[in-house]
Amino acid sequence: MDDIAGIVQRALDEDIGSGDVTSKACVPGDRQAAGYFLAREPLVLAGTEVLKIIYPGNLVLLHQDGDQLSDGDRIATVRGNARRLLECERVALNFLQRLSGVATLARAFATAVEGTKCRVLDTRKTTPGLRLLEKSAAAAGGVTNHRMGLYDAILIKNNHIAAAGGVRPAMQNAKASGLPIEIEVRTLEELHEALASGATHLLLDNLSPTQAKEWIDLIAGRAKVELSGNINLKTVRAYAETGADFVSAGAITHSARAMDISFRLELL
């Protein structure tokens, strides 16, 4: 929560700076007002924790993260000093629109694989500085968070393999860490070498669904399998039906569009 508060404060400082000159010029300093956030299209809500930080003690949430909203649904109400409500409006909307976009896209991916054994993972392809919030939004949408950063799990990718001198030395060196290990393999030779080295979690990258199924059949349950590489809403179902345990999609965080949410102000 402290990390999120810091993110929000930096955003407020960036926008307000030395003060909202428009609100100060137009609105009496003692004027009180109320406002509400309104969904302008169907969406999955995320970002309510941000609203709690921006409007401490003055906020009434009408919905929670993960709720499916319709066009016209009110998200929250807030009241207080009119100038303060106005100067916080854009930052609050920026967070709500962005994070609800991530949650909405995440829900679409999760829905697309329903009925399979496959789970959708998010990735580290997040907006710099906003990973905690964006991954929270992805989870609210119904996908599973992959590792938060480079520090909480080992994922050996092709450049690590090159730097280590091959699949086998990369695996041998990584085992000493005691952390969970996943390794990316790009050829059948690397696949066999990884399994022979004791790999229990494989990442197969940039395969077609047909190729992925052939490789998964070859693995035959000896390791968990994640598929990645340009997986989108049109293709994710086909990948999920290959028998993979996971599919990961960077699009959930790097390509989600901002949802249409507005803020309406009324005088008390």
Residue 64 amino acid letter: Q
| β-bridge mates for residue 36, sequence order | 77, 264
Query: What range does the domain containing 204 cover?
Result: 111-254
Q: What is the pLDDT of residue 230?
A: 86
Q: Are residues 97 and 146 in the same domain?
A: no
Contact 209, 239 (CB under 8 A): yes
Q: Are residues 48 and 12 in the same domain?
A: yes
Give residue 2's pLDDT.
63
Number of domains in the chain: 2
Reduced to 3 states (helix: H, G, I; strand: E, B; else coil), residue 30 is coil
Token match 């280590």: residue?
A: 164
Report the CATH number that the domain containing residue 93 is assigned in CATH.
3.90.1170.20
Clarify whether residues 120 and 245 are in a common domain: yes
pTM: 0.95
102 and 121 belong to one structural domain: no
Say which residues have a Cβ less than 8 Å from residue 33's Cβ, sequence separation at least 6: 79, 80, 81, 82, 85, 265, 266, 267, 268
Environment class of residue 258 by beta-carbon count within 10 Å: exposed (0-12), middle (13-18) or buried (19+)? middle
46 and 162 part of one domain: no
**257 catalytic, yes or no?**
no
Q: Is residue 31 flagged as an active site residue?
A: no
Residue among 172, 174, 177, 171 at smallest CA distance from 185: 171
Amino acid 1: pLDDT? 57
Active site annotation includes 184: yes
Catalytic-role residue among 20, 134, 184, 226: 184
pLDDT averaged over 10-residue windows placed end to end, the chain, 268 residues: 88 97 97 98 98 95 98 98 97 98 98 98 96 97 96 95 96 92 96 96 97 97 96 97 98 97 96
DSSP annotation string for 55-116: STTTEEESS-TT-EE-TT-EEEEEEEEHHHHHHHHHHHHHHHHHHHHHHHHHHHHHHHTTTS
One domain, residues 118 and 230 = yes
Query: Is 205 a catalytic site residue?
Result: yes
Same domain for 231 and 175: yes
Residue 132: name the closest of 154, 157, 102, 156 by CA: 102
* Domain match, 72 and 118 both: no
Do 221 and 263 fall within a single domain? no
Tokens of 194: 């990884």
Q: Are residues 140 and 95 in the same domain?
A: no
115 and 89 in a common domain:
no
234 flagged as catalytic:
no
Per-residue tokens: 109:
């991916």
The active-site residue, picked from 52, 157, 168, 186, is 157
Annotated catalytic residue within 90, 124, 213, 224: 90
Distance CA 78, CA 55 (A): 7
Out of 52, 74, 79, 125, the active site residue is: 125
Residues 16 and 140 in one domain: no
Of 73, 119, 168, 205, the catalytic one is 205
Q: What is the CATH number of the domain that holds 190?
A: 3.20.20.70
Tokens (6 digits) for 27: 């609105």
